[in-house]
Amino acid sequence: MKEICILGLGYIGLPTASTLAVNGFKVHGVDIDPTIVEKLNDGGTHVEEPGLSTVLSAALCSGNLVVSSVPKQADVYIIAVPTPIKEENKADLSCIENAARSIIPLLKKGDIVILESTSPPGTCLGFLKPLLEESGLEMGVDCYLAYCPERVLPGNIVNELSLNNRIIGGINQASAEQAKKIYETFVCGEIHLTCSTTAEMVKLMENSYRDVNIALANELAMVSHDLGINAWDVVRLANLHPRVNLHLPGPGVGGHCISVDPWFIIEKFPQSTALIRQARMVNDEMPSFVCCEIDKKVGHLGPIKLTILGLSYKANVNDIRESPALKIFNRLRCNPNYQIALHDPHVSSTEYPLYDLETACRDSDCIVLVTDHKEFRQIRPSHLSCWVKRKILIDTRNLFNKQEWLDHGFDFTLIGAGV
Ligand code: SAJ
């Protein structure tokens, strides 16, 4: 059984390391953040994912998963570090570069290097291959190099890691085949081999497709608002067509994937990507659209208390990266008339004014639902009626039953519905 060293123990690296370890591999997990290493070694985890703590503790208890901050010599290296965007929406490959540099002294003939981090097209061939060849080994001949994009959905990562189909793009056929030998030990879905640049584009197009589709739904929300119709009804009815799959409108697109990845294509091909760029702009505008609706509703009331329900970028996760709720909060807090209280049952942070549900809603003049956590479905108008000062509710996700709130005397606004 080959030994595997995984660089980056975040949303992807940690579940992958745990899964490989419970499948019998000796796995060395590496993270440069000492607090993450310490927490994992203490039996905790910094990633909230259903099923992760179970597979993680099984991996650690078996002795197959060892975690530290320094890479160790292995037969397979999997790079799963972040690729954020820096100024001008360009990809920041410094984490990939640092991870690759840390394994150069360890590389030996026959090793396999696999990149999982989402990257601009051409990263494997044009960036990683020459970098790793500073070891004196020829990639594709002495060692193997492949791009294997992760495609798991935050909130269902542990299941999708083994169930999803996988794309493996080698810098040559031998590299793709070597990487396949690792993934076929735990992937139940189909494994498709291709070249590394195709695999890089597959990953980016999956998320760009979703971004463009959501932008279409968000444009529909803005049009519906002016038309006096309900965008959610339009989506539901249009999707009855056998070849239509409109996504849903909302307060904007967050997370570290869909709101970031399209820029990796735009960066390389600015002249040919007008549609992808426009979709990014439409989705980035949605938090402002929501704020304008809030201002229209309560801006004239003078000093008031606003309650935002949900801070994470989507339902049932604790990730606040690029969250539309944060953008809405940051914009509203600029208005000196707004005192803002946040509530999110999944997020704990000392940086933001987070409270329990009752404290956040008590004496509130307006409640804004931004993230559709499952816990919020339990909120009944009778609870809020006892706590709030004014019965004004704005729903950005179509989570609540409008009639129920109207029946309790609430002024109810659904973003994307003019009626
Ligand atoms: N959103 C909408 N309307 C929708 C669907 C989503 O406004 O109809 C919003 C969400 O609220 C959220 C954002 O879009 O703010 C993104 O959420 P998501 O659930 O669509 O996607 P992510 O970013 O959590 O995960 C995506 C997934 N990609 C696809 O479904 C094509 C996942 O499979 C990828 O592995 C992941 O990106 C990634 O790591 O790239």
Place of tokens 């001949």: 141
Angle between helices 274-298 and 261-268 (to 10 degrees): 130
Position 418 scores a pLDDT of 86
Residue nearest to atom 27 of ligand 1 (CA): 153
Distance 313 CA to ligand 1 centre (A): 9
Q: What is the pLDDT of residue 138?
A: 98
Q: Distance from the CA of 253 to the center of ligand 1, in angstroms? A: 8
Mutational pocket test of ligand 1: of 119, 161, 207, the residue with most ligand atoms within 8 Å of the beta carbon: 207
Which candidate, 215, 203, 199, places its Cα nearest to that of 252? 215
Kindly list the catalytic residues.
203, 257
Rounded Cα distance between 84 and 90, Å, is 8
Residue 21, pLDDT score: 97
Measured CA to CA, the distance from residue 361 to residue 158 in angstroms comes to 35
| Residue 363 exposed, middle or buried by CB count within 10 Å (0-12, 13-18, 19+) | middle
Point out the ligand 1 atom lying closest to the alpha carbon of residue 313.
15
Kindly list the protein residues whose Cβ atom lies closer than 6 A to any atom of ligand 1. 118, 150-154, 206-207, 210, 214, 247-248, 250, 253-255, 257-258, 313-314
Residue 191 has a pLDDT of 98
Ligand 1: distance of its center to the CA of 162 in Å? 19
pLDDT profile of the chain (419 residues), mean per 10: 94 96 97 96 90 95 96 98 91 97 98 97 98 98 97 94 97 98 96 98 98 98 95 98 98 96 97 98 98 97 98 95 97 98 95 96 98 97 96 98 97 93
pTM (two decimals)? 0.94
Which residue lies with its CA nearest to atom 32 of ligand 1? 153
Which tokens is 377 given? 């479905």
